Amino acid sequence: MARRAFYSFHYNPDNWRASKVRNMGVVEGNRPASDNNWEEVKKGGDAAIQQWINGQMSGKSVAIVLIGSKTAGRKWINYEIKKAWNDGRGLLGVYIHNLKDKNEEQSAKGRNPFVGFTVDGKSLSAIVKAYDPPYRTSTNVYNYIKDNLADWIETAISIRNNNG
């Protein structure tokens, strides 16, 4: 079954890395906002941002949090995590810090963004999987994500269905 994904990521430092994952062709994803569109959305304030996120997430079966060095704890990342879980979508994280950015640089590993959320008294980080490719070379990280993302999505959907 073809899955449609919503990708959550910290735009400024990780948009290059995120575009690599989104363009793998493994799963149909949401259309990214261009810099100009995103700036226009932000001008509308929190209500406009929330409405944009809600629209982007509509019809998606899974939310994939692409975890960079500063992803955890961000206001809109937190909103997207809560919304995905509360709406019954599959939810997973993928560490992308070892993918190179447009300057051919990697970044530091960030914290797990699911820490701090609880579901029925249990930490969401104990329920939702955050995958950390076991490689340091960007090409190997990319290939590992590409080879496994479809299975990770199915696992995330199964986990969510069993934690209803």
Q: CA–CA distance from 83 to each of 40, 77, 97 (Å)?
A: 22, 10, 24
Q: What is the pTM of this model?
A: 0.93
Residue 31's pLDDT is 58
CA 27 – CA 151 distance, rounded (Å): 11
Spans of the chain below 70 pLDDT: 1, 26-36
Instruction: Assess contact for 130 and 157: CB atoms under 8 A.
Output: no
Residue 28's pLDDT is 61
If one looks up domain 4-161 in CATH, what number appears? 3.40.50.450
Fill in the DSSP letter of residue 30.
P
CA 164 – CA 158 distance, rounded (Å): 10
Residue 42's pLDDT is 86
Convert the pLDDT of each residue in 85-110 to its tens digit.
Answer: 999 999 999 999 999 999 999 999 99
Residue 35's pLDDT is 54
Domain boundaries, the chain: 4-161
Residue 67's pLDDT is 98
Residue 25's pLDDT is 73
Q: CA–CA distance from 25 to each of 12, 19, 90, 148, 158 (Å)?
A: 23, 11, 19, 12, 22
Residue 10's pLDDT is 93
Residue 45's pLDDT is 93
